[in-house]
Structure 1
Amino acid sequence: MTPALGAIMFKSIKWRFVLIYFLLVFLSMSIVGIYIVDQLEEIQLEMNSKNMDSRIRFIIASSDPLKSNMWEDKTEEIQKSINSLQVGYNEDLYVILNDEKKTIIAGSVEEVIGQSALNTNKINNYILAKSMDGNPAHIAPPDEFDGEKDPSYYHMSYPVYADGSIKGFIYFVNNIEYIYDTVNESRDIMSKATLIALAITIFLGLILSSSITGPIKDLTAKAEQMSKGDFDHKVDVKSDDEIGQLGNTFNFLIDELKGTMSKLQQEKSKMETTFKYMADGVLTVDAAGSIVHANPVAERLLSLKKEDEDYDSAIVRVKDKMMLNNLKKNNYHGTDILEQNGETYNIDYAPFMNNKNEIGGVIIVFKNITEQYKIDKLQKEFVANVSHELKTPITTIKSYTETLLDGALEERQIAVDFLTVINSESDRMARLVSDLLRLSRMDYSKTKWKKENLSLSDMVSQVLKKLQIQIKNKNIHLQLGKIPEDMHILFDRDGFEQILLNIAGNAVKYTPENGNVYISAYREDNNVVVSIKDDGIGIPPEDQSRVFERFYRVDKARTRDMGGTGLGLSIAKQIADAHDSTIAIKSEINKGTEMIIKIPELF
């Protein structure tokens, strides 16, 4: 085709229409194809992520060693459990201990076992670090890690909890080349489909363009109507003929539409992002009772599924008082409290208006106030306990003092007895205040620990000397096991003595006369373990988890009669925590109690 002939052809509306139609279909098919392929890739990666998450959960659920709280003690059992799993040829599994080095204690790649996960190029440090906040972290290609790009592997780090803290991580890697093979095949199919569609487009364009020239003016009139609200068509034409006029009209409308839609989209995106990442749950319900919007927090609280649309059916599972009819009675304004799974939420709700300025529904906000609620509760309990503990000795002192003032002071023996009681109660209050001050200093990290090399044998002997009178008065049979002379710990001397005094003192106090108290020490996994056991009254199972709480007593009346403040074990626990040590309890009713102190050994 000569340039002159080409110029003549493209001055024709017919050929220009064919060209525009061709480009429109080409762009549409390209955009749709790219979108479908991208969505396919995202769906495949999301399914792979969910499968990995399910695999990890299954591995944890099916492995007893992994359920253990002490992974470092069960590395061989964990490795055997991993070996028994059907780990695919394109998968790698690592069990990482949550210690300082993030040590790999088991896995399907044996050559890295024992190494630090932070120094292993098979593990993505960024993912591992992200999962330390308590949520599973994963990454898909082509994100960078370890200085390289690898589009063939998908990584996931899953934190595993024990006693409220992360004990380790299950790190899973699998090969996803098959996903990209599928995506590439889909892209080839879309390319072939586009070519076929373009061929058909040219053929149909030649037919249709012949029928357009006549009704140009009619189409121009329709375009003017479209400028008032009809946005079903889009063209890109540059000319001065009838099609050009129509193109200019469309362009004007498109520009206006794009500007408006862009603003609306930005506002919508802002709102969706805000709701999605809010720490509070947000739920929007229309006046008919249908759920319009729920952010992830609200979905979790109400256990919402994609098919759930009815608000009352969802809210009745957690709080039937919040059903829509009850909200209407309050004119859609109010507040409430929800307690679920150990968490407390403050519920605030208010109406929103529709375009007719009528109530269109209600917005409900769930604010997590668990910590504040617990703190308020603890503060109230603390004040009540302190008041109660101080009230008893103060009442005793006041009544005995009044008796003395009323004349009993003249009777020397009575006066001496009363003053002895007053002195004892004063000592009791002094001990309580002293314990409270010590706890307060530890709470605010004001206690300065002077850690030094201590001989365990010397410390136990020193404490037993201080308890000698109590032991003798009750005729307690002390069974002291042999403590090696080379057994040393790094600890604050006064702090460790306080722990032993509190625990051994309790053992003597709650053991009946002629009873037995056993004290022994041994090594276990680079730790020194001190066992203080008695054959006293024991502690009920339901109370064992609370004995370290402040002022908590199993038998309140008996404990007060024995002069206890209810703070001894709490103080011992906080001192132990400050020295990276632990205190555990084993007890049976009427058989006795064993307190186990575990301290890192000093080498």
Structure 2
Amino acid sequence: MKKIRLFQSIQAKLVTIYVLLILIAMQLIGVYFVRTLESYFTNEFLVSTDTQASLLANFVAESLAPAPSTEPKPGTPDEKPNADLNEVMNLFALSSSEVQIIDASGIVLASSQPNGQALVGQKTTQIEVIHALQGIKDNQRMFTDIDNIRKMVLAKPIAYGSKVVGAVYVVAKMQTIYDTMSRINNILISGTLIALGLTAVLGVVLTGTITKPIQEITRQATAIAEGNFSWKLRVRGQDEIGQLSHTFNFMMSRLREALSLHEEEKEKLASILANMNDGVIATNEKGHIILMNPRAEQIIGRKEQETVGSGLFELLGISEDEADRYQERGSGSTLLEIDQGDEEPLHVRVTFTSPHHREDGLSGTIAVLQDVTEQEKLERSRREFVANVSHELRTPLTTIKSYLEALDDGAVDDPQLAHRFINVTRNETERMIRLVTDLLHLSRLDSKQAMLSKEETNVPEMLEEVADRFSFQLQQKDIEIDIAIEDGVSHVMLDRDKIDQVLDNLVSNAIKYTPEHGSIRIEARQSAKSSALEVSVKDTGIGIPKKDLARIFERFYRVDKARSRNMGGTGLGLSIAREIIKAHGGTIYLESELNQGTKVTFTLPVKDEERVAG
């Protein structure tokens, strides 16, 4: 069961405090007033009763005095004094007090109440009367009678001269005093209740001037927490509450500006992270991933939702010792190789940075993932290119040097041997010239120095001339060549010399790697996807393994290096062909299956003014 909590609002607490203060003040004042008033009334009643008793004692003293001639016997009342006493008692007959006149022997001589007449002539035994007959003046006592009425007993000695001749015994009811006090108490209670009610009403009204602004501030703070900054507190005065409202409005405006700036910076950061070419992974102080941008997802191959909460170094496959070194230094970098399944692995450079806070120390780690696969490929290609060029030049130069040394050693004197050595030297020299020429040509294409000289070219005629140029090689290996030109393909604007170089290279490779009695097919058609000329050269040769397809257009790359070199190739033909097609704005790709043949296709885009004519 939910526990009920009282006084959860400041207003209820303040009103309760005000009511309790008033209640305590009224109680203290009421108790003091009632006690003082009760003491006053009691004292006044005692003084009044004592005064009446003293007056009565003085009045009847002479009546009770013994006659000078004869002394009456004790217990024998004198008729004349009794008659005087009865007349005096008639004065007290209407009073609520009972007054008795007692002689020196303790005999009741007269009573003011009718029901007290039975006591007349009898001896009283009241202790107060006994003390009064002994001459003691202060004899009073208050008590509660059997009928639950408060009474006061008073006995006054009656002195005649120096002799006590009797006593006045008074039994006075004090009910009027307590009735008066009861009415006064009722008035005080009513006043207290009225005061408490007025205090509660005024407390609610007055505390509302305090709690209402606080409630407005609370509502505004809740709205701010929910992102609503449209409200503004009303400043009701220049007191502390007004100053608080003014300060809160100022704080809200500054907070709105800060949040707006924060949102702008957050959007900028999110935009930067989303469009970065490098991957970014952020972790908390425990090393758990809390953020990963889209590029990092691509590099790692996992979504951010899958990696949040996992360890960064475990995800990247970094050992604990190496991770500890990075965290101790606060920064560092390493090169990772990420497996891509059937595809070529990615080479990723990971740079770690660990920002620190002044109070909390290490606040996490930021890892920047840079895909350097292409750079590694370029670096590897550069190394291989230098090695290949060196090797391609070294081999013929070594051959030429050895044959020249042989001629110098005397082979020049043998005409037949000298002639053969010179032919070998000439062939190696021509091979080097072809290699250097291809390198220069490729260099000009790379540097965009080779300008295209486009002219209107008849495509069927161009393809027929290619077949004619290789007719002798085709006849030697008994290879059939077929040219298929789609209807509508006729004239195209292109650089005839460079495209002839591409076709010569493709047809030459097809002849080299196609065994005897094979076939070559050259096709030209208009691309189905765009208005581009699509030319393909297909053979039934030895084909290319799948592992080599991705690198077939690299410079100096050979599937079978020894066989290609023996056939006179430089390893730059396909690279030059690719650069020429790229210069025309087209694409070239290769499809091959081992022992089934190879098909090389290139496309040449045709603009509206250069559209293929039918």
Could you tell me which residue of structure 2 aligns to residue 571 of structure 1?
576
Pick aligned residue for 1:468 from 467, 471, 479: 471
The structure-2 alpha-carbon separation of the partners of 1:583 and 1:344, relative to structure 1 and needing over 3 Å to count, comes to closer
- State how far apart, in whole Å, the 2-side matches of 1:324 and 1:409 are: 67
Deviation at 1:30, TM superposition (A): 6.1
Moved more, 512-521 or 322-331: 322-331
SS at match of 1:594: strand
Could you tell me which residue of structure 2 aligns to residue 189 of structure 1?
none
The answer (yes or no) to whether the contact 1:235–1:247 under 8 Å persists in 2 is: no
Deviation at 1:443, TM superposition (A): 1.9
Could you tell me which residue of structure 2 aligns to residue 248 of structure 1?
243
Could you tell me which residue of structure 2 aligns to residue 427 of structure 1?
430
Deviation at 1:540, TM superposition (A): 2.7
Counterparts of 1:204-219 in structure 2 under 5 Å? none
Could you tell me which residue of structure 2 aligns to residue 378 of structure 1?
381
Matched, 1:602 2:612: yes
Aligned-residue RMSD, C-alpha: 4.2
- State how far apart, in whole Å, the 2-side matches of 1:34 and 1:292 are: 24
Pick aligned residue for 2:213 from 14, 17, 20: 20
Deviation at 1:559, TM superposition (A): 0.8
The structure-2 alpha-carbon separation of the partners of 1:406 and 1:272, relative to structure 1 and needing over 3 Å to count, comes to farther
The answer (yes or no) to whether the contact 1:282–1:366 under 8 Å persists in 2 is: yes
Counterparts of 1:144-163 in structure 2 under 5 Å? none
The answer (yes or no) to whether the contact 2:333–2:350 under 8 Å persists in 1 is: yes
SS at match of 2:541: coil
- State how far apart, in whole Å, the 1-side matches of 2:270 and 2:225 are: 29
- State how far apart, in whole Å, the 2-side matches of 1:295 and 1:589 are: 41
Could you tell me which residue of structure 2 aligns to residue 277 of structure 1?
272
Matched, 1:558 2:558: no
Matched, 1:318 2:316: yes
The answer (yes or no) to whether the contact 2:279–2:293 under 8 Å persists in 1 is: yes
Could you tell me which residue of structure 2 aligns to residue 289 of structure 1?
287
Could you tell me which residue of structure 2 aligns to residue 393 of structure 1?
396
- State how far apart, in whole Å, the 1-side matches of 2:286 and 2:527 are: 65
- State how far apart, in whole Å, the 2-side matches of 1:500 and 1:406 are: 45
Deviation at 1:350, TM superposition (A): 3.9
The answer (yes or no) to whether the contact 1:276–1:295 under 8 Å persists in 2 is: no
- State how far apart, in whole Å, the 1-side matches of 2:432 and 2:295 are: 48
SS at match of 2:400: helix
Could you tell me which residue of structure 2 aligns to residue 452 of structure 1?
455
Pick aligned residue for 1:441 from 440, 444, 449: 444
Could you tell me which residue of structure 2 aligns to residue 54 of structure 1?
none
Could you tell me which residue of structure 2 aligns to residue 174 of structure 1?
none
Pick aligned residue for 1:487 from 490, 493, 502: 490
SS at match of 2:350: strand
- State how far apart, in whole Å, the 2-side matches of 1:331 and 1:535 are: 60
* Identity across the alignment (%): 34
SS at match of 2:440: helix
Paired amino acid for 2:408 = L
Deviation at 1:531, TM superposition (A): 4.4
Query: What CA deviation, in whole Å up to 9, does each residue of 1:546-591 have, x standing for no partner?
Result: 3322222222111100000112122223323333444444444334
Deviation at 1:26, TM superposition (A): 5.9
Could you tell me which residue of structure 2 aligns to residue 335 of structure 1?
333
Deviation at 1:437, TM superposition (A): 1.7
Moved more, 471-480 or 434-443: 471-480
The structure-2 alpha-carbon separation of the partners of 1:532 and 1:283, relative to structure 1 and needing over 3 Å to count, comes to closer
- State how far apart, in whole Å, the 1-side matches of 2:500 and 2:225 are: 75
- State how far apart, in whole Å, the 1-side matches of 2:413 and 2:483 are: 50
The structure-2 alpha-carbon separation of the partners of 1:332 and 1:516, relative to structure 1 and needing over 3 Å to count, comes to same
Query: What CA deviation, in whole Å up to 9, does each residue of 1:512-559 have, x standing for no partner?
Result: 345443445455645555443333323333333433222222221111
Paired amino acid for 1:546 = R
The structure-2 alpha-carbon separation of the partners of 1:330 and 1:407, relative to structure 1 and needing over 3 Å to count, comes to farther
The structure-2 alpha-carbon separation of the partners of 1:262 and 1:577, relative to structure 1 and needing over 3 Å to count, comes to closer
- State how far apart, in whole Å, the 1-side matches of 2:500 and 2:569 are: 18
Counterparts of 1:167-316 in structure 2 under 5 Å? 237-240=235-238, 244-248=239-243, 251=246, 266=261, 270=265, 273-274=268-269, 277-278=272-273, 279=276, 280-291=278-289, 297-298=295-296, 303=302, 305=304, 310=309, 312=311, 314-316=312-314
The answer (yes or no) to whether the contact 2:292–2:304 under 8 Å persists in 1 is: no
Moved more, 519-528 or 263-272: 263-272
Paired amino acid for 1:20 = P
Q: Which runs of 5+ in 1 are unaligned?
A: 1-8, 39-193, 195-233
Counterparts of 1:517-528 in structure 2 under 5 Å? 517-522=520-525, 525=528, 528=533
SS at match of 1:388: helix
The answer (yes or no) to whether the contact 1:551–1:565 under 8 Å persists in 2 is: yes
The structure-2 alpha-carbon separation of the partners of 1:325 and 1:26, relative to structure 1 and needing over 3 Å to count, comes to closer
- State how far apart, in whole Å, the 2-side matches of 1:273 and 1:481 are: 57
Could you tell me which residue of structure 2 aligns to residue 346 of structure 1?
349
SS at match of 1:565: coil
Paired amino acid for 2:546 = P
Q: How many residues align?
A: 394
- Bigger Rg, which one: 2
The structure-2 alpha-carbon separation of the partners of 1:335 and 1:439, relative to structure 1 and needing over 3 Å to count, comes to same
Query: What CA deviation, in whole Å up to 9, does each residue of 1:17-48 have, x standing for no partner?
Result: 46525644664676677759x9xxxxxxxxxx
SS at match of 1:602: coil
Pick aligned residue for 2:409 from 393, 406, 409: 406
The structure-2 alpha-carbon separation of the partners of 1:307 and 1:259, relative to structure 1 and needing over 3 Å to count, comes to farther
Q: Which runs of 5+ in 2 are unaligned?
A: 1-201
Could you tell me which residue of structure 1 aligns to residue 554 of structure 2?
549
Query: What CA deviation, in whole Å up to 9, does each residue of 1:103-130 have, x standing for no partner?
Result: xxxxxxxxxxxxxxxxxxxxxxxxxxxx
Query: What CA deviation, in whole Å up to 9, does each residue of 1:398-457 have, x standing for no partner?
Result: 222222222222222222211211111111111111112222222222221111111123
SS at match of 1:320: coil
Q: Please report the TM-score for the alignment, with normalisation by the length of structure 2.
A: 0.54
Paired amino acid for 2:332 = G
Deviation at 1:373, TM superposition (A): 3.4
